[in-house]
Every structure is written in C-alpha cells, then in structure tokens.
Amino acid sequence: MLRIKTTEADPCLLFRFNEKNTLDGLVCLQVDDSIGSSLEHFHTQEDKASQAFKSKGQTLLKNGMEINFNAQHLKTEDGNVFALQKAYVNRVPKENVPRNATSFMSHRRKAACMSNCTRLYVACAVNQLSQVKEIEAADPDFKRLDDIFSRLKPDNFRLCFSNVDIDTLEIHVFADASFATDKDLSSQIGYVIVLVDDKGNCSFLSCSNSKGSRATRYILAAELDALAHGFDAVFARSHIVGKLPVWKMKAQVLTDSRTLFESVTSLCSMTGKRLLIDIYCLREAYRNVDLANLGWIRTQDNISDALTRDKKSSALHNVLKTQRIHSPVAQWIFQGRICGTQN
C-alpha cells in the first residue's frame, strides 16, 4: 500500500519517492517503534495502513511538543530538534552508589545508555568501567562511577540537531585513538560522524567508542585502527544517504595523527607490515573518490578526542554548545593536490 523501499545498507531505513522524483517520506525502524518525516499525504496513508494491525498509534511532533523514542525525549523548537534523557537524568543517584555488585551493574548500565545517546563526554570513562566485572568491582571503580554521575547531574543538557544547508552538505568523521590506556594495555578507539554545511553548521549523525580489538604495538597502529573503523562507518552512511536522489554528499576523514596522514597521502613505504592492508585500502578509497579528502587536524581541535581519553574536551564542548564546527584543518588532501598548513 505504501510502496516504500529499503536502503541497501540499512534495511531499517525506509523511503518513498513520488512520480516527480521528490521525497514523500522517510521512516526509521527501531525494534517495535518507528520515527519518520513525511509529507501530509504520506502521513495519512501511513496512519491508515497502521490501523490494519494493533499498534501504538502515531504522534505528530509539533513545535514545542515532546515525544519519546529509543529512551530519549525529542523536542522541536524553532525548527531544531533536541534530544534529552529526562528519565535517566532523574534516576542519577544524588549520593554515592551503594557498594555492591548489583548496584554497580545497574548504575553502570544507566551511565552507558546516556553516554551512547546524548552525553558523549563521559563515553571513555564508561567504556573503561564496562571492562570491570561487577563481582570484582573495587572501591576505586565505585569512586569512578560516582565521578561519572557527578558529571551527568546537570539536567539542562540536550543534544541539538540543527538546520543545515542540504545543497552544501558534507559528511565528516573525526577519528582518534589512545594507545594502551586500559588496564590490560589495550587501546581505546573512537570516532564522531557529523553533517556539516559550508557555513559550519553541524548535526551529529553517529559516534562510537570501543576497546580496540587488535593487539597494537605502537601508536600508529591504534590510530589506523580508529581511522579504518571511522571510514567504514562514514562510507556506509554516505552510501545510505547517497542512494536517496535528493542528497549527494562528500565523505571526509579527519585525524590528529600526522604520521598516519602522511602514510596514507604519500607513497612512502612502511615498516609495519600489519598495517599495509588498511593503508592500501584507504589509498584505493581515495583514488575511487569514495573518500573525498583526508585532513590532518591538531589534537585540541579533534572532537573525538573526548571519546578516547577521560578528560574534558573544549572542542567537543563548543560543538555541543553552539552546533557549529570550529575545527580548522591544519593540512588536507583532495583529488589532485595537497593544501598548505594553516597557522
């Protein structure tokens, strides 16, 4: 009835175009719930189709209203969409977490849900704490969990998805890694994917922070692992969006590792043989224009730095506060030439 199609890379993202090749509606599925954006006639048809089976019904998100989706409260104001987690913030303990395994596990789960959705700045601390077995949790682990909740207590924080110019839209991924910072000397890798227009307005698309699956022996290997994960993620998302005729976006990858930047952009040989496959894959992606350009940025300008190190990041804080990218690229390469360094 609805004649909707799925994207090749994500079967949970549905869309439909009309005879004029303009977008009628987008629908995203999440377990037993869905959220979408559509024209009025598509909304009417979708509402009629949902009456054929038992469902929760539809709620139209209007200016100033709130809806619940995927453990988040979504609210619109002046054309912008805000995501906040009131239910989880209200459950943040006002005092220290009780010193027992069950309490440690349940409170750590709450912190993980918030860090994965809206509170990106505690993602590294939560991820490192998730490597501790609840039955082995010691007093330092409980103190670290108390510190995480003290940073989560401000209830006025919300993640903003602001308006961006579709005609000049690009998809950027910031990748970073911290070498041997875990207790078992493994590395933390992370990336942040944002949509950016030519005026610097941005909207968060995805982020990830995880323990490195590879056994890395030096910093370059960890940085390359993070860059490879970030590129895979940004390529999949640009492929999904690129299948929709209304958007054609360039994918750009940014790293704060100068050595890695030079290894990918130049034809120099490497001593680390284990890294050659990933390096050659990135070079091939650049030649095939799957990667529009690769940029080197300074560490203080890398917004993904907060996902791999448990410290305050002014770059991420400014982006979350202003919804604008203020990360000047020190050096970058695109098809044909390398641009100079900015001071």
pLDDT at 133 over 70: yes
pLDDT of residue 338: 45
**pLDDT tens digit string along 227-267?**
888 888 877 777 666 655 555 677 788 888 888 888 877 76
Whether 201 shows a pLDDT value over 80: the answer reads: yes
**Nearest by Cα to 317 from 306, 330, 332:** 306
Q: Are 306 and 231 in contact (CB under 8 A)?
A: no
Q: Dihedral, CA atoms, 45, 47, 51, 52, nearest 10 degrees?
A: 40
Give how far the C-alpha of residue 57 lies from the chain's centroid of Cα atoms, to the nearest Å.
30
The answer to whether residues 17 and 23 touch, using CB atoms and an 8 Å cutoff, is: yes
**Residue 208, SS3 per DSSP:** strand
Q: State whether the Cα torsion 282-284-167-233 is positive or negative.
A: negative
pLDDT score, position 169: 80
Using alpha carbons, select from 87, 109, 85 the residue that is nearest to residue 97.
109
CA R_g for the chain: 22
pLDDT of 17 higher than 50: yes
| 9/6: higher pLDDT | 6
pLDDT at 277 over 60: yes
* Distance (Å, whole) CA 66 – CA 38: 18
Q: How much is the pLDDT for 164? A: 81
Q: For residue range 137-147, what is the model confidence (pLDDT) as tens digits?
A: 888 888 888 88
User: 198 is written with which tokens?
Assistant: 């030519």
Distance, CA of 332 to CA of 265 (rounded, Å): 9
Hey, what are 32's tokens?
């037993």
Angle at 200 between CA 198 and CA 206, to 5 degrees: 105
Tokens 């909707």 — which residue?
4
Residue 282's SS3 state is helix
Q: Quick one: tokens of 216?
A: 């890395």
Whole-angstrom distance, CA of residue 54 vs CA of residue 100: 42
Strand partners, 204: 194
Domain 163-338 class, CATH top level? alpha beta
Residue corresponding to tokens 């309490």: 103
Q: Give the single-character DSSP code of 213.
A: S
Distance between CA atoms of 298 and 188, rounded to whole angstroms?
19
The span from the CA of 321 to the CA of 109, in Å, is 26
Q: What is the pLDDT of residues 170-188, one digit of tens each?
A: 888 888 888 877 777 778 8
What 8-state DSSP symbol labels residue 136? G
pTM summary value: 0.80
**In sequence order, what are the beta bridge partners of 28?**
13, 35
Distance of alpha carbon 220 from alpha carbon 223, whole angstroms: 5
For residues 29-48, average pLDDT:
81
- Residue pair 109/294 in contact by the 8 Å Cβ criterion: no
Task: Report the alpha-carbon distance of residue 88 to residue 161 in Å, rounded.
Answer: 20
Output the pLDDT for position 1: 65
Query: pLDDT tens, 235-244?
Result: 777 766 665 5
Please state, in angstroms and as integers, the Cα–Cα distance from residue 69 to each residue in 66, 77, 88, 237, following that order: 10, 17, 13, 21
Domain boundaries, the chain: 1-53, 65-161, 163-338
Q: What is the pLDDT of residue 334?
A: 59
Closest by CA position to 144, among listed 163, 130, 161: 130
pLDDT in tens, 59-111: 777 777 778 877 777 888 777 788 877 777 777 777 788 888 888 888 888 88
- State residue 116 phi and psi, 5-degree precision: -80, -20
Report residue 263: phi and psi, to 5°.
Answer: -65, -35
Structure tokens of 13? 């993202």
Mean pLDDT, the chain, whole residue set: 78
